[in-house]
A and B are shown apart, each in its own frame.
Chain A
Amino acid sequence: MIEFRGVSKQFDDGTLAVDDFSLVIPSHKTVVLVGSSGCGKTTLLRMINRMVDPTSGSILIDDEDIAGLEPVKLRRRIGYVMQNSGLLPHRKVIDNVATVPLLEGVPKRQAYARAMELLDTVGLDRSLANRYPSQLSGGQQQRVGVARGLAVDPNILLMDEPFGAVDPIVRADLQQELIRLQQELGKTVVFVTHDIDEAFLLGDQVVILQVGAQIAQQGTPTEILANPATEFVADFIGAGRGKRRLSVDASVESEGNDLVLVDSAGHAAGVVDAPGGVIANGDSGPKSRSISNKTDQAGDA
């Protein structure tokens, strides 16, 4: 469990990036901090491994105030994945993954064996182990980044827009991979993004932030979509513009068992399973993927 207690951060240049922020992040869940750039979300993330120290307030990990912990030791037990992978360009993939265990004094053979397993875990072919980062695609580099983050088997994994710089198809792939991984590993994942679709897809809990890291709303994706707390939230998640309010377009004769859905502006947004022209009811629960939509998350609506 990670707890922010009245945390503020003012940078040297005077900007108040985080203003009296409090939040409890439960263990073994994925919590997504989402907001526009400059809202302080990355600052919040970087406070958890003391890359940034708060000006006031405290942060606790399992009820222990991290201000009293050695930053280097703290960082070594927390996984960190960043946007451009941040891999060491002069080291092979295997060495990058094994970096922290080797720093911690794990014998080389053991660290390499573990690194190889991690390549499997993140869906990378073992033959890539001896490549250099520059010889990998962007998506592969991010997978190596995730493997490195997992190398010390941390309880906490911090992810700072890890899929922000890859193309949409690869991003979708990596997102699914992360969902699968998380089901397997059950880490406490803190994930930062500016992409609300990504937030709804990955987050057990989503925290929508405004400037100064003010919480506009927090809750499950379903709760937020069902009841946007403010105009800002409604706008941010697209509900305000009617993008997420879908209805069946009765004018379209569809073949088979699908009905076409349109958003409030009348643009086609997806299809819904409707055997015999009847939309299945909510048995399948809120996370049902019965509506296939190009953004996928509309299924939560």
Chain B
Amino acid sequence: MLFAAALAFIFDPANLLGEKGILPRLMDHLLYTGLSLGAALLVGIPIGLLIGHTGKGKNFVIALTGSFRALPTFGLLLFIILFTGLGLGPLVFVLAILAIPPIIAGAYSGLDSVNRETIDAARAIGMTEWQILGKVEIPLALPLILGGVRSATLQIIATATIAGYVGLTGLGRFLIEGLALHDYTLAFAGAILVAALALVADGILALIQRLVVPHGVSRGMARTTTRSSRRTAPSALTGAPLTEG
């Protein structure tokens, strides 16, 4: 059976190390993911916080995330690489570009979800704008901000899978090689590995996301929220990401 054969491949120590082994490819996959996510965070978080704090540019966020979703990532990756050529740099560039919109959207919607009265009161008692951002808005928005990071991470992990198609390594290489050689055991094993990596990453981020919910907010939730108004927020919070690749 294919599934058993794929598992056998995964757990065969002979396939763990070596140039085409699971471990080096996993490390490469993590490397692509880490670098791209880092770059995307550096750009996306400040923009998202700025838009969220000032409330200016909301339409930009909606347009950005909407059109981003419509863009076929796969095509975009190939298109850009045709111009930039292969290599770690171009790949990280493309992956980061793809990860920026969900990060901006998460940071923006996080700050947007903070009660206006709370912010107004913080200003009225004499907090500076930086203090409002750092001591009020970010702590309260953290779950949603991380929701965006979570989406972005999964987006990157999934799209990095296609990197195998453009000659780089990573776990996607198993899939592509398997398909090219009609070795479906190999492809299946790759699929399992990629799925497992995505699930583990998502699980870890979900856990962190739960841990950062401010105490006063989680305890108060049940009592102070109205059904309709708050329900929409958690959908962004836990909303599973759109994954391509």
- Which residues on A are within 8 Å of B, measured CB to CB? 46, 49, 51, 72-77, 80, 82, 84-92, 99-100, 103, 132-135, 148-149
Residues A88 and B215 in contact in the complex (CB < 8 Å), given A103-B131, A133-B220, A134-B220: no
Which single member of A76, A85, A132, A135 contacts B126 (CB below 8 Å)? A76
Q: Which residues of B contact A75 (CB under 8 A)?
A: 123-126
Task: Decide: B126 and A72 in contact? CB cutoff 8 A.
Answer: yes
Q: Is chain B's interface secondary structure helix, strand, loop, or mixed overall?
A: helix
With A75-B125, A132-B219, A134-B224: A86-B120 Cβ-Cβ less than 8 Å: yes
Tell me the smallest distance from the CB of A279 to a CB of chain B, in Å: 47
CA distance A90 to B217 in the complex (A): 6
Contact between chains at A72 and B127 (CB < 8 Å): yes
Q: Which of B117, B120, B139, B220 contacts A135 (CB 8 A)?
A: B220
Q: Is B140 an interface residue (CB 8 A)?
A: yes
CB <8 Å contact, A132 and B216: yes
- Which chain B residues (214-239) contact chain A, with CB distance < 8 Å? 214-217, 219-221, 223-224
A100: chain B residues at CB < 8 Å are 125-126
Known: A49-B124, A72-B128, A132-B215. A86 touches B117 (CB 8 A): yes
Chain A CB within 8 A of B206 CB? no
Enumerate the 4 nearest inter-chain pairs by beta-carbon distance, A residue then B residue, closest first: A134-B220, A86-B121, A132-B216, A90-B214
In B86-142, the 8 Å CB interface with A consists of 115, 117-118, 120-128, 131, 135-136, 139-140
Residues of A contacting B115 in the complex (Cβ-Cβ under 8 angstroms): 89
Query: Please, how many angstroms separate the alpha-carbon atoms of A75 and B124 in the complex?
Result: 6
Q: Is A84 touching B117 in the complex (CB atoms < 8 A)?
A: yes
Q: Are A80 and B121 in contact (CB under 8 A)?
A: yes
CB distance from B162 to the nearest CB of A (A): 40
Nearest-neighbour CB distance to chain A for B4, whole angstroms, equals 50
- Enumerate chain A residues within 8 angstroms of B216, measured Cβ to Cβ: 88-92, 132-135
A89:B140 contact, CB within 8 angstroms: yes
Of B124, B135, B139, B215, the most chain A CB neighbours within 10 A belong to B124
CA of A99 to CA of B214 in the docked complex: distance in angstroms?
Answer: 17
A103 touches B140 (CB 8 A): no
- 8 new A-B contacts at CB < 8 Å, known A88-B118, A132-B215: A72-B126, A88-B135, A89-B115, A90-B217, A92-B216, A134-B220, A135-B220, A135-B223
Instruction: Give Cα A100–Cα B126 distance, bound, in whole angstroms.
Output: 7
Number of B interface residues at 8 Å Cβ cutoff, please give it.
26
Distance in angstroms between the alpha carbons of A131 and B121 in the assembled complex: 19
Q: When chains A and B are docked, how far (Å) is the Cα of A88 from the Cα of B140?
A: 9
One digit per residue, 1 when the CB lies within 8 angstroms of any chain A CB and 0 when it does not, for chain B 12-27 equals: 0000000000000000
Could you tell me the distance between the alpha carbons of A80 and B223 in the complex, rounded to whole angstroms?
26
A89 in contact with B121 (CB, 8 Å):
no
Output the nearest chain B residue to A151 by Cβ-Cβ distance.
B125
- Asked whether A82 lies within 8 Å of B121 as measured between CB atoms, the reply is yes
Of B122, B123, B124, which contacts A88 at CB under 8 A? B122
* Residue in A87, A92, A134, A135 whose beta carbon sits within 8 Å of that of B121 in the complex: A87
List B residues 186-222 near A (Cβ within 8 Å): 214-217, 219-221
A104 to B51, CA, bound (A): 28
**Interchain CB contact under 8 A, A86 and B124:** yes
Taking the closest CB of chain B, its distance from the CB of A117, in whole angstroms, is: 18
26 contacts between A and B (CB under 8 A): A51-B123, A51-B124, A72-B126, A72-B127, A72-B128, A76-B125, A80-B124, A82-B117, A82-B124, A84-B117, A88-B135, A89-B118, A89-B220, A90-B140, A90-B214, A90-B215, A100-B126, A103-B131, A132-B216, A132-B219, A132-B220, A133-B220, A134-B219, A134-B224, A135-B216, A149-B125
Question: Across the interface, do B124 and A134 meet the contact criterion of CB distance under 8 Å?
Answer: no
Q: Which residue of B lies closest to A133 (CB)?
A: B216
In this complex, the member of B125, B140, B215, B216 whose beta carbon has the largest number of chain A beta carbons within 10 angstroms is B125
Chain B residues near A99 (CB-CB < 8 A): 125, 127
Least distance between B111 CB and chain A CB atoms (Å)? 14
Contacts of A89 on B, CB cut-off 8 Å? 115, 118, 140, 214, 216-217, 220
B residues less than 8 Å from A80 (CB atoms): 121, 124-125
B118 touches A86 (CB 8 A): yes
Q: Give the complex CA separation of A77 and B125 in angstroms.
A: 8
